[in-house]
Each structure stands twice: as structure tokens, then as C-alpha cells.
Structure 1
Amino acid sequence: MREGERPEIAKLPLFAEMKEEQRERVFSASHLQVFPPQLILFDVGQKPDFLYVLVDGLIELFTTNGDRDSTMAIVEPVSSFILAALVTNQPFLMSARTLQSSRVMLIPADLLRDVIKQDGALMQEAMRELAVGYRHMVRTLTDMKLRQSTERLGNFLLLESHKRNGAMNLQLRGEKKLLASLLGMTPENLSRALSALAKHGVSVAGGNITITDHDALVTFARPDPFLDGVEVQSPFGSS
């Protein structure tokens, strides 16, 4: 890793509270690499050689079964991914590919496992990331089981708006089929769901989605602060 890149990476939650000598040990053995779009970083069943930290770009985590594949998560910067496989030294349960040109930090797995044992701050942050990942999985399963597909899409749009500080105009990340796969829908079902949301405060123009009536969408999708992890409120205040 080049010297000028280290301050940027050191700000990541996983490394921020580490002992300086242990952080230097990790950084000295790691490197940043730029990968082109649609490149497979690793496949299901491989043992983890590195921890991956996405610094810039977009990564898809997905699984396959025969000729079917399903998007499990979209990784946005700045965040690590596949920490559980590294900590347990077990084969990957998901594959990963770049959706756009991506800058990724590669940390040797054996080294990081050793440093986790020696650095309490790193161990605590690794535990926190694993716990957050588990809770996200539970929320995703709950969403799939308790909401119909159109409600699931509406709730997804509300959560995306919340993540973007209440933005009402949302740009789809990648193609619509990627969003459909992420939400457990076929592309055809996604198109029908988008059309159905027109009467609940959503308009669509290509890859641009606009929430035209936030309160109507909230009433339809019924976001839950416990199940979804955030409290979605109207950006215009309570009435």
C-alpha cells in the first residue's frame, strides 16, 4: 500500500481504534488494487486468502445453483466484506464480482486473524461488524417473509431515501434485474411492482425513481423501526 493511501484507510471503523504498531503491521502487508467491472473476485467454496475492503466502486455478493443466481447483497464503500469467512477460516458461501471499476484493499487472512487475537480494539470492531451482518441477515429474511413483493420494493425505496438523507430522487445501482434479484423478484415482477407503486407515491423514468408522495409510500409499505433498523419519517415533518 502506498504511503499516501494509509490515512484514508486508517479512518475505517475496523482499523480506527487499533494500536498503531498493529495497524502498521497490517497496512505494510496489504495492498490496494483497482479491478475492472464484472470481474469475479472470488467464488463460492474458495477459502479466504484475504479480507476485502471496498474503498471505491460497487460489489455484488451473489450465489448460484445450476443456471440460477441470486444477488445476496450490494456492497458500497467504504466497508469490508466476507469477514465471517475469514474469522472462521471457512469456505465462502457467496461469490463476489465488481459492478463497476472498484478499488479494493486486500488484507492477508492469516495475518489479520493473528492481529485480531492480539489487538482488543480490532477484535471488538470485528465482533461488531459480524453482529451487524447477522442482524442485517435477520432483517432481510423477515422482510422476505412478512412483506409482499410490491411492499418489499416500496420499503426498499424508503430505506434508500433514508440512507441518502431523505433524497426523493433515487438512481438505480446497476440494471433493474440486479435490484429484482436483490429483492427476491423476477425482472417481470419488479416491473409490475414499480407500476403498482405509481398509486402509492412513486414515479419511474428509466433508471430514475422519484418518491412523489413520501407519506403515501410509508402508509403502503409500513416500515418498522425494529424490523428495518431505522425509523423512516416524512422529510417534511409530522402533520
Structure 2
Amino acid sequence: MRSQDLEEMRRIPFFRSVEPGQVEAMLRGAFLQRFPAHVELIHTGEPADFLHVVVEGTVEMFSVHRDRETTLGVSGPGDSFILAAVLFDRPYLQSARALLASRILMVPADAVRQAFAADAGFARAIAENLALAYRGVIKELKNQKLRSGLERLANWLLTHDAENGSTGHFDFPFDKKVLAARLGMAPEVLSRSFAALGAYHVVVHGPSVVIQDVAALRKLAHPCSTIDGTSL
């Protein structure tokens, strides 16, 4: 890894509370790799040899069973995956692929486990990361079980709009097929749902979304802080 890359990696939030010596030890054997879109990074059932941290780009977490495939999550810059498998030296329970051209930091799993045992700051960072991931799973479970597909889509639109400045206009960050899987619906159901949102003044033109009446969409979505977070 080049010296300028090492400086950049030291500033990743995941390493913020870690002793400099431990960061150096982890990065000494790490790799900073660029991957084109659609390349699979890890595969379900494989040993967790590296902790992956997204530096640039977007990564889709997904799983396949027999002839079915579903999206389990989407990770962006600053996110790590799959930490639990690395920490406990277990096989990956899901696969990952780059949705966009991405730059990924790959830290050897042994170095991560050694730092976890030796550095209280890093152990605390890992505990916080795992706790946030657990809360995310609970929120997603509630989202899937307590809402209709149309309500899930409405809340996703509100959340994504808020993340992009609450302008009421944004482009999809990934393919609609990925969004459908992320929301737990078939692509054709997603298309019908978008058509149904026309009554709530949501307009979709190719990759672009325009929310013309946020209040109407919020009335449909009923955003909830214990599902969607405090921003809605």
C-alpha cells in the first residue's frame, strides 16, 4: 500500500479510537483494491479471511438459496463487512458484490482478532459496530413484517430523500431490481407500487424520482423512529 493510501486509511472512522500502533499493525498486511461494478467480493460459506471496509463505491450484500436470490443490505463508504464472521472466525453467511466501481480496504482477519484482544478502543469500536448492526436487523425485520410493500417503498423514498438533502428530487443509487430485492418484493410488484404512488404525487422518470408532495407521501408511509431512525 502506498504511503498516501496509508494516511487515508488511518482516517477511516472505524480506526478512530484505535491505538496508532494497532492501526499500523492491521494496515501493514492490508490490501487496498479497486473492483469494477458487478464483481463478487465474498461468497457465502467461504472462510472469513478479511475484514472489508468500503472506501469508495457501493457494495450489495446478498444471498442465494436454490433458485432464489435476495438483497440483504447495501453498504457505502465507511461501512465494514462482514465483521461478525471475521471476529468469530466463522464462514460468511452472505455474499457481497460491487454495485458500482468500488475501492475496498481488505484487512487480514488474524490482524483484526489480534487488535480486538489487545486494544480496548478497537474492541469498543467493534462492539458499537455490532450493536448498530443488530439494531439495523431488528428495524429491518419490523419493516418487513409490519408494513405492506407500498409502505416500505414510501418510507425508503422518504429516507433516501432525507439523505440527499430533502430536495424531493434524486436519482436511484442502484438498479431498481436491487431496490425490489432490498424491499422484499418482485420487480413487477415494485413497478406496480411506483404506479400506485402516482396518487401521492411521486413521479418516476427512468432513474430519477420526484416527490411533489412530501406530506402526502408521509401520510401513506407513517414513518416511525423505531423503524426508520430519528431523522424521519
What TM-score does the superposition give when structure 2 sets the normalisation length?
A: 0.97
Q: Distance in 2 between matches of 1:47 and 1:201?
A: 48
Residue deviations 1:75-112, cap 9 Å, x none?
11121110111111111110011112111001000111
Q: Distance in 2 between matches of 1:173 and 1:227?
A: 21
Q: Is the 8 A contact 2:48 2:92 kept in 1?
A: yes
Helix, strand or coil at the partner of 2:100: coil
Q: Is the 8 A contact 1:54 1:76 kept in 2?
A: yes
Residue deviations 1:37-76, cap 9 Å, x none?
2111111111100000111111111000111100001111
In the TM superposition, 1:99-118 aligns within 5 A as: 99-118=99-118
Q: Is the 8 A contact 2:41 2:96 kept in 1?
A: yes
Q: Distance in 1 between matches of 2:8 and 2:160?
A: 25
Q: Distance in 2 between matches of 1:109 and 1:194?
A: 42
Q: Distance in 1 between matches of 2:71 and 2:169?
A: 24
**Residue 136 of structure 1: CA displacement?**
0.5
Which region of structure 1 is more displaced relative to structure 2, 92-101 or 159-168?
159-168
**Residue 11 of structure 1: CA displacement?**
2.1
* Amino acid across the alignment from 1:229: G
Please name the residue that 1:159 is paired with: 159
**Residue 228 of structure 1: CA displacement?**
1.4
Please name the residue that 2:129 is paired with: 129
Please name the residue that 2:83 is paired with: 83
Q: Is the 8 A contact 1:13 1:125 kept in 2?
A: no
What residue ranges of structure 1 are gaps of 5+ in the alignment?
233-239
Please name the residue that 1:231 is paired with: 231
Please name the residue that 2:6 is paired with: 6
Aligned positions, number: 232
**TM superposition outliers: structure 1 runs of 4+ over 6 Å:** none
**Residue 35 of structure 1: CA displacement?**
1.0
Q: Distance in 1 between matches of 2:91 and 2:40?
A: 16
Q: Distance in 2 between matches of 1:45 and 1:27?
A: 26
Q: Is the 8 A contact 1:224 1:231 kept in 2?
A: no
2:18 aligned with 1:18: yes
Q: Is the 8 A contact 1:51 1:107 kept in 2?
A: yes
Please name the residue that 1:193 is paired with: 193
What residue ranges of structure 2 are gaps of 5+ in the alignment?
none
Which region of structure 1 is more displaced relative to structure 2, 47-56 or 156-165?
156-165
Q: Is the 8 A contact 1:223 1:231 kept in 2?
A: no
**Residue 169 of structure 1: CA displacement?**
1.2
Please name the residue that 2:221 is paired with: 221
